Amino acid sequence: MLFVTPNLSIPSQFLEVRYARSGGPGGQHVNKTETQVDMRLHVGACDVLRDSVKDRLRLLAGNRMTKDDSLQVVCGRNRERLQNQKECEQRLREFILEAMKPPPAPRKKRRVSRAAKRRRVDAKRAKGDKKSSRSKRWRDGD
């Protein structure tokens, strides 16, 4: 069972955990123990999450989504299996919490104010005056 919030927990039937040999630190220890953790959440089958959360989770996951509609998180950074498993659970928890946040409100288009237009034109005029003052031109009296 994965506890996300005090009100939400994902039952173990929707989680799949696999172990593999890790390529991380550990020397010869890595060659004989399976410390890497591959954790998958079956998003489509998970009836605990709302459909809107599932859709946002699919968008956030990107290439971590598999063809069978599972969110895959892999961790093999640590030497111990338990640490890697806790890290996978934490990453999965963060994904779900981020998907539960409401999407940002769409930006409302506004007109450019008259003062902003005036500032833009004044800045262009000042830049043009600065450049024209640099040029060598014919002067009266020279």
Chain centroid to CA 125: 43
In what order do the strands lie in the sheet containing 36-42?
15-20, 36-42, 70-75
3.40.1710.10, 1.10.8.50, 3.30.160.20, 3.40.1410.10: CATH of 2-100:
3.30.160.20
pLDDT at 112: 92
| Exposure b/e, 77-102, CB count within 10 A at least 16 = b | ebbebeebbebbbebbbebbeebbee
- Compute φ and ψ for 78, nearest 5 degrees: -95, 165
Write down the domain spans for the chain. 2-100
Residue in the structure block whose two tokens are 């591959």: 38
Average confidence (pLDDT) per 10 residues, the chain, 142 residues: 81 86 69 84 86 88 86 85 90 89 88 95 95 75 53
Write down the pTM of the prediction: 0.66
- Give pLDDT, residue 119: 97
Return contacts of 53-58, CB within 8 angstroms, 24+ apart: 53/96, 53/99, 53/100, 54/99, 56/98, 56/99, 56/100, 56/103, 57/95, 57/96, 57/99
Which helix (H) or strand (E) element contains residue 17? strand 15-20
Check residue 49 and give its pLDDT: 86
